[in-house]
Every structure is written in C-alpha cells, then in structure tokens.
Structure 1
C-alpha cells in the first residue's frame, strides 16, 4: 500500500536491519524512546492481524521470536522480554520486543508504560552485539 509507512520502510538507524528474511524485517527502536535492545519486527507483506498471516509467516514468526527472545536475554540484562503488538497507529503487522532488565524496579505493564530511552552509543553497541550473536547462530530455533 502506497500510504503505509511500513510497506517501504526507510533504512533503520544503527547500521541497518538487525535481521531480515523473506517475511520479516527487524530493527532497533529509536534511542530517544526505547531502552537499548528494544526491537521492532515488521512484516514484509502488508497485513494487519495475526489471523491474516500465511502458514509460512506464522511459523517463521514463532521461530524468529524464539531466537530474538533468547538473544536479548543473552546480550542484555533482560530477565524477561515483553512482546507488544497493537497495530493501532500503523495498521501494518509489527511487534515490539522490550527487554526488561532483572534489576528494573517495575514489572509487567508498569514497565511497558514507563518512559524509556537509551543513549545512541549504548544502542549502537547493543545492536552490534545482537547482530553478532544472531550471526553466530547461538540462538537458532530447535
């Protein structure tokens, strides 16, 4: 769709895509509004809801979330990785992964509701480690 900003997304900050395949693009979120390690998974094909996924998209999404969850817990101080997908502001399928550090005082939706930010330098460093971890295949789906 020509009016959808996620159908032809601009190149992401911090050195490009963290992961890309035939179904998904993964980028780090903006440092001004996310903690280091926060990732957005966006579908390549335009659709909005889980029920609209093809079988291949659904299966690959599950495998990708497994890899990203394990990677974020390994390379950040994440005790949990929260997955959020509302698709209200941009009606194109996308999901956010927010690593919650073990030492963070907030849990659950209180953590998700709290303001987040990171420095561009910390974000760049984290993205580099995430890419390296994924490239080494340490978190391949079983």
Structure 2
C-alpha cells in the first residue's frame, strides 16, 4: 500500500483517535467516519482512501469500482439514520492532499439548499454525532 509518512490521513487507524461513534465502514480501500463535532453536523461522513493518492484520476480500477457502490450504500444508510432529504458530496482535497470526500446530510427542514447549505457553519453535540454515527452504521450493516 502506498503511503506518505508526512500525511496524517495515511495513518488514521494507527492513532488512538477513532472518529466519533467509531468507524462506520472499513474495507481494503476506504475508511468512513463521522466528522468532528466542532465542524460538522451529526451524520456528516468523511470517506478517506487507505492508499495515498490525491485525485479521482489516480484511483486504481478496484478503488474506482468500489467507490460508486460505497456512495450508494452510504447515501441509503444516511437517509435512514438521519432525516436527510439530500446527501451532498464534496471533495476538494486542497487542505489535506490525500483523497477524501465528505457526505453532508441535508434535512428537508433546513432552510438552506445547495452551496448555501454547504457554506453555512456546522457544529454538533458530540453525543448527537456519536448516536447518529451508530444509527448510520446499523443501517449500513442491514
């Protein structure tokens, strides 16, 4: 597995800092966990590649083939585990140059839509974030 010794995302599982509520999904290509409570809403998930690469075009055939089905499964589980009407996908890879993508659940009741929703400040109570992460993981396992 390619890794970069300087990259914090290459060593996520080696730290004692599992995401809130634990890992929602782990396989040979991807790690998925709830985002930090101080910057994300409950149910906001980060998908991180296990192998060090930055852009979609650098995915192996196996990574590429597994990414779409993973998104489908996560979208379904997020809708079931939250009151999300939409699940927004964002992946810039500018701050940490290691492939990762964010999934943000937008509730039907939220007043903002699209990029206005994504640009709005997000925070969550850690207990709510953990509870939501567990609910999403439970739906994903079904």
Please state which band the TM-score falls in when normalised by the shorter chain.
Answer: over 0.9
Question: Do the aligned partners of 1:39 and 1:96 also contact (CA within 8 Å) in 2?
Answer: yes
1:121-136 mapped onto 2 (5 Å cutoff) = 121-136=127-142
1:5 corresponds to which of 5, 8, 15: 8
* CA shift for structure 1 position 130: 1.0
- Cα distance in 1 for residues equivalent to 2:99 and 2:19: 20
Relative to structure 2, which stretch is displaced further, 12-21 or 46-55? 12-21
Which one has the bigger helix percentage?
2
Moved over 6 A (4+): none
SS of equivalent residue, structure 1 residue 41: strand
Q: What is the aligned-residue RMSD (CA, Å)?
A: 0.9
Residue 11 of structure 2 aligns to a residue in which SS?
Answer: coil
Please give the alpha-carbon distance, in whole angstroms, between the structure 2 residues aligned to 1:57 and 1:122. Answer: 31
Q: CA deviation at 1:12?
A: 2.0
Question: Which runs of 5 or more residues in structure 1 are unaligned?
Answer: 137-142
CA contact (8 A) 1:78 1:101 kept: yes
Aligned length: 136
1:23 is matched with: 29
Q: Decide which moves more: 126-135 or 34-43.
A: 126-135
Q: Is the 8 A contact 1:12 1:28 kept in 2?
A: no
Q: Hey, what's the Cα distance between the residues in 2 that align with 1:7 and 1:107?
A: 33
Give the Å deviation of 1:13: 2.9
Q: Which residue of 1 aligns with 2:72?
A: 66
Q: Comparing 104-113 with 68-77, which one deviates more in the overlay?
A: 68-77
Flag structure 2 segments of 5+ consecutive residues without an equivalent. Answer: none
Q: TM-score when scaled to structure 1?
A: 0.93
